[in-house]
Structure 1
């Protein structure tokens, strides 16, 4: 029986859902013994196969040190030591990494332990942090320093924020040395990120594209036709609405539309963002009520994703699976799940084009009922199959 340990920042959110989807499928197989580890979030439900490695003061200290010294990923020594003791006991045959930023783990300690024991690793990159000196994304800032060596970071105050020092040059060099490990196989959810990896200091490592998957038994069209009559409903969903997610564009679009014909809902806002919304836009905080979220997707006539930089957003998949067409900016991997049969791709900030699409859709809402989407290929089961095949290829 093969042992595998999955490591991620959270047990929930999009990356946590991906981690658990693979873990749950592995647990159904006799030849695999799967364990999940996360930095912060809920307490473990399965005391044997689940492990929460952090505690509150350590997360806070890691965050404070990162904001002073710009060294995210190189703190949390005590928490990492506890993790390595757990790993020493389990001694996995393979390790599956997800996000290693989030103020919970020391990547130097982790990779030194892995290298010393020569354990194969699969690392799913959910953003660009692994090959930059600071940021998780760089499109919004139009920065290419990551290709040859980060320095004088223009996004120092963006996540993972540093308010004092700029340590991007040293971070880049340390990551380059640590992560170039012969037993490391990278996975990207999008072709876009795969191509960026091949321009980075990780370019010599094997890299596979495995698209994110969702629960298509939960995210599915309504049995009731929700797309005929009434106001045209536009929906936006994000785990957090930072500037790169395009909240300003959503608001600007609303001001361009006929409010008597349009209903707009934005999910994932903070209470302060909701208070600042123009009258007429319905704002909601992030919801863990899946039934409510599914209903919002099903009832929407269009899902608008004005992201300026993204990997392979599962929100696009969730909307499509619920029978709702997607309109997204041409950015990152956001366009890779959208085609002429299920949505629209427009250039960044081309709100006039989005307005035109909405006005055309007002008079014809049939598209939301028969989308060109392969439900199997966007399912979490299909995604897990691809990961398990990769694990078998590496170990056998």
Structure 2
């Protein structure tokens, strides 16, 4: 079993792939993980870039792949939202690929695997499982469609492009994927039912076998802890309600931070303050209507657990998302989540049980959710239900068993 991922313990997709690899090993599956470059050593984990020369080549592939999109991009706000997949690494002859009985793709963009790389992998004839972490697999290049529905028929006139046209690069990539997927031994797995529903509607994938298996989490590591101790460790006040916003890039419009800011302005919570995790600068949050504690990007997982345990609630106003790791992590720590009803978020948060699903793009609804959680969790019942949901649906053993059964069915035709 070989899992392939561009990133290793980085970004939502990279973390999800690494966690699944760990979970598969724990239930006895002979799993191997190959990434472009290793973030930290791990069992049966290999980097394609395992030498200084290959590391330079991996960086060069990333740069070339980005440069190939540069002449077409509408503006720099969409620079990383579209992947042309013109540059990548040929790994078909790699020993791990040759030895694998099943190849399991995760997020493979940004110069790791190109469409040509995928073509050579598919030509090996081995069963291919592809876990989708966004929409790229069935679009002409965008990772999220932002309301465009041309992927349902045929991508063209792409809104991400400077000069959208009938035969633009989205059209060209779509055509290449049509040829690539024809007769490919593919099974598409989505972490959320929302994404699988799109897979079944999309013109590129509506005839491809698909299903839903969520991402997993180590519930022995992400677990409830002492709130006061966690706050003291992070230098946070112990006498305030603390609301957490966590995003890899806090300034990404897709993460909806502006709605959180508006919600805090109207919530009227005199004793509430906010915690902010992710890339950014403290000055970006100077205009928050309440005091903001900017903790920056936290890479240490023990500190992340402290952050979740320090918070009274996690706020996820994402405008587009699949199955956010932050929600899973927070709920595993017994921290309720409040999020917009977008993507797979409503599948994770039990509305008025383990958290609150707010109306999308509505700051007043988000504000209502914050107030509801703070009011109804004084005795910890919402927290208990949040943790229980994760134990039942997202624990390592539950998810690894589902994948193990899928692998067996593909190998033995059951």
Range class of TM-score, shorter chain: 0.7 to 0.9
Name 1:202's counterpart in structure 2: 205
- The aligned residue for residue 222 of structure 2 is 219
Matched, 1:24 2:38: no
Matches within 5 A, 1:120-269: 120-138=127-145, 141-156=146-161, 166-200=168-202, 201-223=204-226, 230-241=239-250, 242-258=252-268, 260-269=270-279
Matched residue SS, 2:92: helix
Q: Is the 8 A contact 2:337 2:349 kept in 1?
A: yes
Does the 8 Å CA contact 1:11/1:17 hold for their aligned counterparts?
yes
Question: Which shows bigger deviation, 231-240 or 376-385?
Answer: 376-385
1:97 pairs with 2:97: no
For the structure 1 residues 359 and 93, does the alpha-carbon distance in structure 2 shift closer, same or farther, using more than 3 Å as the test? closer
Residues 17 and 89 of structure 1: CA distance in aligned 2, closer, same or farther (over 3 Å): closer
- Change beyond 3 A, Cα 1:286–1:171: same
Deviation at 1:353, TM superposition (A): 2.4
Q: Bigger shift: 124-133 or 249-258?
A: 249-258
Q: CA deviation at 1:267?
A: 1.0
Shift of 1:345: 0.7
**Which residue of 355, 374, 379 maps to 2:395?**
379
Distance in 2, matches of 1:45 and 1:342, equals 34
Pair 1:284–1:121, CA change in 2 (3 A): same
Residue 248 of structure 2 aligns to a residue whose secondary structure is coil
Q: 1:151 to 1:73 in 2, by over 3 A?
A: closer
- Cα distance change, pair 287–179 in 1 and its aligned pair in 2 (3 A): farther
Structure 1 counterpart of 2:52: none
Cα distance, 1:383 vs structure 2? 1.4
**In structure 2, C-alpha distance between the alignment counterparts of 1:22 and 1:177, rounded to whole Å:** 30
Indicate the residue corresponding to 1:56 in structure 2.
59
Matched, 1:391 2:381: no
Equivalent residue number for residue 335 of structure 1: 346
Alpha-carbon distance, 1:89 to partner: 6.8
TM-score by length of 1: 0.86
Alpha-carbon spacing, 1:64–1:353, altered in 2? closer, same or farther (3 Å): same
Q: Which residue of 1 aligns with 2:311?
A: 300
Give the aligned length: 378
Q: How many angstroms does 1:224 deviate by?
A: 5.4
- C-alpha contact (below 8 Å) 1:18/1:380 kept by paired residues: no
**1:268 Cα deviation after fit:** 1.0
Distance, in Å, in 1 between the alignment partners of 2:227 and 2:307 is 13
Q: Is 1:318 the counterpart of 2:329 in the alignment?
A: yes
SS of 2:385's partner is coil
Q: Deviations over 1:149-194 (max 9, x none)?
A: 111211237xxxx9xx951111111112212444111100011011
Q: CA distance change for structure 1 residues 245 and 29 in 2, over 3 Å: closer, same or farther?
A: closer
Structure 2 length-normalised TM: 0.83
Q: Is the 8 A contact 2:331 2:383 kept in 1?
A: no
Counterparts of residues 42-121 of structure 1 (less than 5 Å): 42=39, 49-53=45-49, 55-68=58-71, 72-77=83-88, 80-81=89-90, 83-87=91-95, 90-111=98-119, 113-121=120-128
Tell me how far apart the structure 1 counterparts of residues 97 and 373 of structure 2 sit (CA, whole Å). Answer: 58
Contact 2:38–2:46 under 8 Å retained in 1 = no
Distance in 1, matches of 2:178 and 2:188, equals: 14
Matched residues in 2 for 1:155 and 1:16: separation? 24
Q: Distance in 1 between matches of 2:182 and 2:41?
A: 32
- The answer (yes or no) to whether the contact 1:328–1:334 under 8 Å persists in 2 is yes
Corresponding residue SS for 1:357: helix
| Kept in 2: contact 1:7–1:98 (CA 8 A) | yes
Three-state SS of the structure 1 residue aligned to 2:307 is helix
CA RMSD of aligned residues (A): 2.8
Q: By how many angstroms is 1:49 displaced?
A: 4.3
SS at match of 2:179: helix
- Shift in Å at residue 278 of structure 1? 1.6
How big is the shift at 1:131?
0.8
| Distance (whole Å) between structure 1 residues aligned to residue 382 and residue 31 of structure 2 | 39
**Superposed displacement of residue 100, structure 1:** 2.1
